[in-house]
Amino acid sequence: MYCSLFGHDFQISKKVTQHVREFKCTHCNAQMTTNGQGKLIPLTPKFQEINAVLEQINKKRLKRKSELGDFSI
């Protein structure tokens, strides 16, 4: 009810990648995410899945980068 009157109050709940974030409303726990174009869209189970994959890819990439960094020292 609160949100339908005042709108959602989204806070970042997870940083998936540099560009993709997940948001959660502090009042009703509605979840949103940003897609590849940076648009805010509802976080459906499908997008939860996509974000989980993106997160894994992103973590691997970061890990590889740091490994390369260690290697060059």
Q: Which residues make up the interface to Zn ion (CB under 5 A)?
A: 3, 8, 25, 27-28, 30
Smallest distance, Zn ion to C-beta of residue 33, A: 15
CA 59, CA 30: separation in Å to the nearest integer? 26
- Residue 15: partners with Cβ closer than 8 Å, 6 or more residues away: 21, 22
Q: How far is the CB of 11 from Zn ion (least distance, A)?
A: 11
Nearer to Zn ion, 23 or 47 (CB): 23
Residue closer to Zn ion (CB basis): 3 or 53: 3
